[in-house]
A and B are shown apart, each in its own frame.
Chain A
């Protein structure tokens, strides 16, 4: 048993992180590349790392009791990596304070279509995910963990299932594992939708008066934690919270996983950023030689930044917040010069409108209208007073739903109108769009027709 005090003291003496790296060194790399931490080890194509290989590289997981895990989370300042960025220590503390045995769910479903970081971890480093999940279970005092993935995900499901079987066989953990497979829809990755699906098989978000960590669909406090977040904890427990935090920046402790999409050398590639890097450092590590036209930061429900602004921006929560953006799910979508952001955004909004779970009136009525407004803005058939309509729709959609889906779409639309004001003016004036003939840049799935498609219940049951 490792004493947490020892762990803290030991890590305080390690001024630089493992491998003797200089404190300000920046590394950007994919699976198996030098300088990476979570992605260190075998390269792409090697499949899920076995338990033996994992333990060879990382040694055993320190045995910590609940209070020690909570202290570790607080000392490291681990923030949620699924999108919200909520500190895990506060979630755990809220669940413990709410009474009743908590429910622990690991969200490995990664519903963001362009993002692949959680899928990569589950497919290639599943034991790091399970290690961290076991620690959160200890913090919550629970002996059962549900890992939730999308049914059709393939390699991530295989990776986690194999890892769970290995651990069961060797009696490796005190916790029991359940692998849950749910429908592959955008909002079914929302925390209350996952908690609800595991409880009663309905994967739509739930309205609740209390936060999940206080009272979930079962009536018990429910902690839903992202797969990367727990994998980070698996690293932190071994190297200590200070050394772990030093792999990031003051504003964003720890290493960060990102997915790059659009105009990069390998779209869809997952990279890890270690050290105080900028968005430009990440893009330079993925084949961009100069600032692109723009970067979509944080996911489809994220924020556009102009290429120059993004290139300089430190990739950390506080710095991005100053620009009105956030790391979100870790997506960087690169728009090349010559492509039209209005066209790209219209495709995304069209897809997102079709992903409404069809439960809340304003979301059901408002999102398709917002989508059609954005598509007529993109194809130049839009009139000036339409802008006021977009504004009104945005006000009505914000905060209107049981989940934050409408809010995310409004955020994307508003950042588009702000960052690409000149293009909006050109489109309104009926000028020929520069990017009309450009092939699609971001990997936006074909939208489900809103209203015209199958009933939501059919998708979600």
Chain B
């Protein structure tokens, strides 16, 4: 199974919220824009974190795919803000 995470740079607006949920997988540059360190996710833990980051990004810029198909994010990946 290949799960891949990337940040769509055309949607990212530099909130750096993704890094709160996936701190070891996302680098934030000097302007706050996120970049994925290693797109291929090899552990379930990393997949879970990536999906949380995807759910938390206000711009929907974090994209996770499994076998090339987009993984829907939302209710299954609760974040601190999801219960508001």
Residues of A whose CB lies within 8 Å of any CB of B are 204, 206-207, 209-210, 214, 359-363, 365-366, 392, 396, 399-402
Contact = CB atoms under 8 A, between A and B. Distances in A.
Interface in B5-30: 6, 8-14, 29-30
A207 B10 contact: yes
Which of A209, A210, A392 has the largest count of B CB atoms less than 10 A from its CB? A209
Interface in B53-69: 63, 65, 68
B33 A402 contact: no
Interface residue SS majority, chain B = loop
Given A209-B63, A210-B68, A362 B9 contact: yes
B35 to A, nearest CB: 6
Contacts of B13: 361
Which of B13, B29, B63 has the largest count of A CB atoms less than 10 A from its CB? B29
A401 B9 contact: yes
Question: Interface residue tally of chain B, by bracket?
Answer: 10 to 19
Contacts of A361: 9, 12-14, 31-33
Which of B4, B9, B35, B63 has the largest count of A CB atoms less than 10 A from its CB? B9
A400 B33 contact: yes
Nearest to B4: A209
A399 B6 CA distance: 12
Nearest to B34: A361
Given A204-B10, A361-B31, 10 more contacts: A206-B10, A207-B11, A209-B70, A360-B10, A361-B14, A362-B31, A363-B9, A399-B35, A400-B29, A402-B9
B63 A400 contact: no
A359 B68 contact: no
Interface string B32-52: 110100000000000000000
Q: Which 8 pairs from chain A and chain B are nearest by CB? A: A360-B9, A359-B10, A361-B33, A207-B8, A396-B29, A365-B31, A402-B10, A207-B10
Given A361-B31, A365-B31, A400-B29, A209 B6 contact: yes
